[in-house]
């Protein structure tokens, strides 16, 4: 783990300052202190928390490392002014001691340093049938869940039951109801475990994991309806997660239009991943901007994907990478997507936590070509496409980095 783990970058006062007070008040407090801070910073219309849990997050924005906890350092999180951190644990990696799994270890480390945390449980069944209740496979899966719960419950602030279930499953399991039955079984097991071990209050808030592709009508199915119906009728579930990776900013709204009417009035939503990666991909075969080609003496017919591949192999000076993004109309028009979208999420009054990708991970750069998903264009740091001094921080991504920091300083609109 990071050598910085013995430092504590985020005192309670620091966290309140970074988030405008109301949004991230849970970090670094005892439960009694947290309830007092909540009362002072929320108006009289604030909904009561779910039974058995501490007051939940409201309008928070954090950083996301997904499956790659080693890709981000606490120094980088401090540079971002981030005070929430999210990742997911692939459940097959869980051994007898769940604290040794890399994502879990990173989030436990973050918690001890004063960060609030979100952990998603990833059950990868996209290449094999999902377990049925009562089967040996289900028994083994629930045993792994217990090992994670033993390690993280009442430590992580939010536990998302599932990562991207409707992608991480077979079509026949989605169509037959087996997907829903599996996750409902896991959720009920987690609820029972929490009730048994924390009968009074528990700081960990339970959400159902993320829904994808809700901007496409054919992806809003009986299975997704059942997913939301289960969340609505289960008092201990405080909402659902969504992952809007879209081809245009306006295609995020259908996610909210679908989920919010189907949730209870006291429920909120997570957005632990969101991006314009589908838009970026549409432009990989475009030629680079003419002005950029002239400035850097490049062939005018160079495709965007080739330029990115060159930057991966031989990282650019920071100014050159910034010019590439700023001179590309498809990026320049959307450089404030993060700022605008978090604003829309907060305006609903129902956002619990949104998190955004921090760095360009190794998997994002492997075999880069015109068919590669260009996740690396989303990241807050351009750590693999821009030169980095041996003793300096990675380059900040144009537009997104500054907007992320500005969002941390804003008052949460629900509490203002």
Residue 121 pairs in a beta bridge with 89
The pLDDT of residue 37: 34
Residues with Cβ within 8 Å of residue 236, at least 6 apart in sequence: 50, 51, 52, 53, 191, 194, 195, 206
Structure tokens at 137: 């496979």
Rounded CA separation 226/240 (Å): 12
The pLDDT of residue 54: 64
The pLDDT of residue 53: 57
* Stretches in the chain below the pLDDT threshold 70: 1-54, 411-416
Q: Could you count the other beta carbons within 10 Å of the beta carbon of residue 170?
A: 16
Are the C-beta atoms of residues 357 and 64 closer than 8 Å to each other? yes
Q: Give the chain's count of helices (H) and strands (E).
A: 17, 10
Rounded CA separation 239/207 (Å): 5
The pLDDT of residue 337: 98
- State pLDDT tens for residues 30-73: 333 333 333 333 333 333 444 455 689 999 999 999 989 999 99
SS3 270: strand
Strands (E) across 220-335 are located at 237-242, 268-271
The pLDDT of residue 16: 36
Are the C-beta atoms of residues 404 and 338 closer than 8 Å to each other? yes
- Residue 303 DSSP label: B
Rounded CA separation 186/191 (Å): 9
Rounded CA separation 177/181 (Å): 6
Calculate helix-pair angle for 12-19, 400-409, nearest 10 degrees. 110
**Torsional class of 81: left (φ above 0), alpha (ψ -120 to 50), beta (otherwise):** left
Rounded CA separation 183/178 (Å): 9
Are the C-beta atoms of residues 9 and 399 closer than 8 Å to each other? no
Q: Could you count the other beta carbons within 10 Å of the beta carbon of residue 66?
A: 23
> Is residue 86 within a helix (H) or strand (E), and if so which, with residue range?
strand 84-90
Rounded CA separation 122/162 (Å): 5
The pLDDT of residue 155: 98
Q: Could you count the other beta carbons within 10 Å of the beta carbon of residue 393?
A: 14
Rounded CA separation 382/111 (Å): 26
Rounded CA separation 387/312 (Å): 10
């Amino acid at each position: 783990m990071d050598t910085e783990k013995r430092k504590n970058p985020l005192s309670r006062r620091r966290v309140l300052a970074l988030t405008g007070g109301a949004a991230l008040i849970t970090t670094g407090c005892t439960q009694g202190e947290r309830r007092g801070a909540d009362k002072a910073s929320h108006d009289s219309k604030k909904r009561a928390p779910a039974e058995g849990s501490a007051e939940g997050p409201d309008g928070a924005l954090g950083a996301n490392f997904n499956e790659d906890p080693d890709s981000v350092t606490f120094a980088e999180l401090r540079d971002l002014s981030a005070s929430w951190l999210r990742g997911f644990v692939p459940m097959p990696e869980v051994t007898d001691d769940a604290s040794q799994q890399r994502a879990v270890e990173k989030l436990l480390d973050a918690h001890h340093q004063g960060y609030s945390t979100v952990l998603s449980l990833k059950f990868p069944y996209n290449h094999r049938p999902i377990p049925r209740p009562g089967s040996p496979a289900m028994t083994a899966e629930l045993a792994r869940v217990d090992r994670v719960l033993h390690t993280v419950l009442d430590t992580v602030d939010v536990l998302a039951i599932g990562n991207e279930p409707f992608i991480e499953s077979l079509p026949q399991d989605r169509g037959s109801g087996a997907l829903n039955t599996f996750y409902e079984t896991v959720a009920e097991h987690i609820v029972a475990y929490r009730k048994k071990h924390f009968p009074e209050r528990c700081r960990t808030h339970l959400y159902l994991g993320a829904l994808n592709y809700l901007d496409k009508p054919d992806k809003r199915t009986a299975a997704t309806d059942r997913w939301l119906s289960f969340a609505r009728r289960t008092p201990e579930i405080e909402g659902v997660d969504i992952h809007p990776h879209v081809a245009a900013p306006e295609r995020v709204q259908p996610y909210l239009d679908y989920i919010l009417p189907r949730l209870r009035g006291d429920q909120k939503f997570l957005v632990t991943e969101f991006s314009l990666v589908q838009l970026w991909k549409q432009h990989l075969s475009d030629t680079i901007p003419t002005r950029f080609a002239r400035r850097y003496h490049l062939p005018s017919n160079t495709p965007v994907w080739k330029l990115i591949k060159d930057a991966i192999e031989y990282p650019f000076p920071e100014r050159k990478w910034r010019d590439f993004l700023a001179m590309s109309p498809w990026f320049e028009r959307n450089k404030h997507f993060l700022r605008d979208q978090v604003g829309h999420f907060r305006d609903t009054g129902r956002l619990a936590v949104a998190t955004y990708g921090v760095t360009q991970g190794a998997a994002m750069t492997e075999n880069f070509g015109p068919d590669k998903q260009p996740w690396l264009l989303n990241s807050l740091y351009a750590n693999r496409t821009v030169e980095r001094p041996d003793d300096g921080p990675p380059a900040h991504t144009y537009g997104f980095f500054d907007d992320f920091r500005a969002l941390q300083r804003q008052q949460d609109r629900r509490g203002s």
